Amino acid sequence: MGKNIHKSKTLPPEIVSALFKDQQRHAEEARVLGIIHRFTEIMPREPNVEEICRHLVRIMIEETDFENCSVVLWDGEQGLLSLVAAHGMDDMLGEAKGFLYHRNLRFNSQEEIALQAFHTKRAFFVEDTETEPIPTKPNAVVKPGALICLPLMDLGVMNLSRTSPRVISKLERHNWLLISNIVGNVILNAFLQQHLADSNERLQCDVDQKTKALELQSQQLMAANSFLELIIDDAPQGICLLDAKGKITRLNKTLEQLQGDHGKDLLGRRPAILFSESRDFEAMLKRVAVTGVERLPDVSMVRKGGERYPANVFMKRLQDDFGSTLGHLLIIEDITEAKVISERLLRAEKLSALGTMAGGVAHDFNNLLTTIMGNTQLLLHQNPAVDIRQRLQNIEMAVRDGAHTIRRLQSFTHLDRDHLSPPAVVDVSEVIKDAVELTRPRWKNSMEKHGSTIEFCRELQPDCWASIHASDLREVLTNLIFNAIDAMPEGGTLTLRSRRQNAAIIVDVIDTGIGMDVDVQRKIFDPFYTTKGVTNSGLGLSVSYSLLNRYDGEIAARSELGKGSHFCITLPAAECEGLAVSVETIPQIPPRKLLVVDDEEEVLILVRDMLEMAGHSVTAIHDGQKALEVIGQADFDMVFTDLGMPVINGWIIARKVKEAQPDVPVVLITGWGAQYEGQNLKSQGVDLVLPKPVSYKQLVAAIEQCCNETAHRPASVSRP
């Protein structure tokens, strides 16, 4: 009997298996029901589709053994599936490493499994991707071991994956299809709720708009008055409303301010009293009765005290639906400031055009002076008689003075400034000397003509090197000197001081003029601010501030009324790189093989003759294209080229020389020399710049400097 009892407790294997499967089925159903229950919890509180999808993928990861889950929805406009939400084990564990979804993921290839699932509405269950290869994106981050792609109705696809293979039973597949259907309905419901919310919002807006429209229609007069009040009070122009007879019924604060105390007494009066010529208003009123709208540009208006100001005047007739005149709208725009600015801009344009023209004239004069200088120096080297030598030396001196004058002219043109290039290293003390000479006609000739004298006190330290374009610094100093002169109409002392202080260069400009009060000092660097009236642009100190700021410099002012002004400029100090060419002595240099290129034949011949006189072998070419051919065929120790030539300019010549022979020095001889003087142009293939008119000494010194830099190279011609 004991054996029978023992046998009755042992279940047959098939029953055990059935019970186990039944238990698995119940567990699977419980899991599915748990997932569905969690879905139902998020539906009421999350109407937003993206938020719903983010919750869905998180639930799928938390409730299943899949490691990654994503939802991609169909983008009808772009015709592709777009990633909306994704979640992985790393997101749950809070780790910073592992799989990261590509947030801009897109599926638009028919070979991709997600698109296949979407278009066929068929689920894909891949238990092992090794045995069942799947198409993936070429740049895919994750290579799954098992994958499920579930279509979400007509909305998109839900993807689940894990790194290791996994058996997916028939029951699980059935349940996944059930889940995908529920997920699709959840997302669809979210879409519908969102659409409904948007529709409700639009409907509410429509209702609100129509309600407001009805309110406006029922209170049209009140609304119109309120609107007109708002326009009139906030407008920057002077505005007044006139009745049908042309009398003022309402005016805004701007018009009251324009008229001063006069504005308070305008109600009930005709605006003709605002015009310098009352007939201008009367004629305008008659015309507007016919045309409906009238404009008077630049009309002279008058304030209560008799002060006149320019204005643009606009008048419009206001009428009802039947064409009857209700009144008029009169707008008065004060254009005093606009006219001043316009005049300043016009003056600036004229100065710019004048500067361009002056630069071109300076270039042409430099070529002429080169011809005179070259011929004079060639004649001097022929050892003429004493009286002829004296005359030639007088000519040479006059040419040098003329060249100095031309260079001062160039320093005031835009052609002497190239802000796109790096700043040059200049000696600030030398620039101060130039600025004093440039302003001499103003502080000496003009002041002495009126019986006044300005004494200059210069305290300049040598070797005050700073990184700034010389022309920009000259402009700043010229502005300050002119301001100082204006501040000393009866004469006085102007002190210019330069010094090096630690890593900075300090420049002081001190006058004994009338000085400035605190209010003026606060505004002197503002654009268009001036204390000299409309005859002055008001841009000098503003431009100076901007120029210095461009080079990390500063300018500050100290002043007291009656005690003069002190402007202090601070610039970062720089080291001198020895760019200047010494012309004090004529060194003896072994013969070199030289190429000279210039489209001005007279200048070309003179430079050639001066170089040959120094004992060098010279090839002179006046055509840029031919020069390029020669550069490719022959070797030269040095190349001299003009800058402004037709078709092939000096920059092209320099570049071709460096391409053929990088060690061959290139010297730029140009009438635009003031623009490039002192700049490091090696990046453009130029080793040195010689401004026209160029002298014999400058040519020889340039050869010595360049040959010293390339002394390691053997000469191209035999040396005697």
What are 501-538's pLDDT values in tens digits? 988 999 999 999 988 888 787 777 766 556 654 344 44
Which residues does the chain have with pLDDT short of 70? 1-11, 16-26, 43-47, 89-111, 135-142, 261-264, 347-348, 350-356, 358-360, 363, 398, 400-423, 445, 449, 526-540, 576-588, 672-680, 710-720
User: In this predicted structure, what is the pLDDT of residue 97?
Assistant: 36
**Structure tokens, 133:** 């290869």
User: In this predicted structure, what is the pLDDT of residue 584?
Assistant: 46
Domains 17-194 and 361-572 share a fold: no
> Three-state SS for 4?
helix
- The domain 224-334: what is its CATH number? 3.30.450.20
| Three-state secondary structure of 644-695 | CCCCCCHHHHHHHHHHHCCCCCEEEEECCHHHHCCCCCHHHCCCEEEECCCC
φ, ψ (nearest 5 deg) of residue 254: -60, -45
Write the CA distances from 666 to 68, 578, 589, 606, 715, integer angstroms. 67, 17, 17, 18, 15
d(CA 102, CA 247) in angstroms, rounded, equals 72
Burial (CB count within 10 angstroms: exposed 0-12, middle 13-18, buried 19+), residue 463 = exposed
Cβ-based neighbours of 627, under 8 Å, separated by 6 or more: 595, 597, 621, 641, 648, 653
d(CA 667, CA 710) in angstroms, rounded, equals 14
User: In this predicted structure, what is the pLDDT of residue 527?
Assistant: 60
User: In this predicted structure, what is the pLDDT of residue 108?
Assistant: 58
- Contact in structure between 278 and 259 (CB atoms under 8 Å): no
d(CA 469, CA 680) in angstroms, rounded, equals 12
User: Is CATH 3.40.50.300 the right assignment for the domain spanning 17-194?
Assistant: no
CATH ID of 361-572, from 2.60.120.260, 3.40.50.720, 3.30.360.10, 3.30.565.10 = 3.30.565.10
User: In this predicted structure, what is the pLDDT of residue 350?
Assistant: 65
Radius of gyration of the chain (CA): 44
Cβ-based neighbours of 630, under 8 Å, separated by 6 or more: 595, 619, 621
- Contact in structure between 545 and 570 (CB atoms under 8 Å): no
Cβ-based neighbours of 594, under 8 Å, separated by 6 or more: 611, 616, 617, 618, 619, 636, 637, 638, 639, 640, 703
- Contact in structure between 689 and 668 (CB atoms under 8 Å): yes
Place of tokens 């700049």: 679
Q: Quick one: which of 148, 142, 180 has its CA closest to 166? A: 148
- Contact in structure between 56 and 85 (CB atoms under 8 Å): yes
pTM attached to this predicted model? 0.36
Sheet holding 688-691, edge to edge: 617-621, 593-597, 638-642, 666-670, 688-691
593-709 fold: Rossmann fold (3.40.50)
User: In this predicted structure, what is the pLDDT of residue 537?
Assistant: 46
User: In this predicted structure, what is the pLDDT of residue 96?
Assistant: 37
Rounded to the nearest angstrom, the gap between the alpha carbon of residue 216 and the centroid of all alpha carbons in its chain is 47
Beta strands in 504-657 (DSSP E): 504-511, 554-559, 565-572, 593-597, 617-621, 638-642
* DSSP letter string, 438-454: HTHIIIIIIHHHTT--E
Q: Quick one: which of 511, 469, 487, 373 has its CA closest to 676? A: 469
> Three-state SS for 711?
coil
Q: Quick one: which of 461, 389, 398, 475 has its CA closest to 430? A: 461
d(CA 206, CA 328) in angstroms, rounded, equals 35
If one counts every other C-beta atom within 10 angstroms of the C-beta of residue 326, the result is 11
Sheet holding 325-334, edge to edge: 248-251, 238-243, 325-334, 308-319, 293-302
**Structure tokens, 521:** 């000092």
Which residues, in sequence order, are bridge partners of residue 554?
Answer: 570
Q: Quick one: which of 640, 653, 589 has its CA closest to 616? A: 589
What angle do helix axes 49-63 and 13-42 make, rounded to 10 degrees? 160
d(CA 41, CA 533) in angstroms, rounded, equals 77
> Three-state SS for 642?
strand
d(CA 474, CA 657) in angstroms, rounded, equals 35
If one counts every other C-beta atom within 10 angstroms of the C-beta of residue 115, the result is 20
> Where exactly are the structural domains of the chain?
17-194, 224-334, 361-572, 593-709
> Three-state SS for 203?
helix
- Contact in structure between 127 and 168 (CB atoms under 8 Å): yes
| CB crowding 190-206: b at 16 or more within 10 Å, else e | beebeeeeeeeeeeeee
If one counts every other C-beta atom within 10 angstroms of the C-beta of residue 635, the result is 13
**Structure tokens, 73:** 């929805």
User: In this predicted structure, what is the pLDDT of residue 532?
Assistant: 59
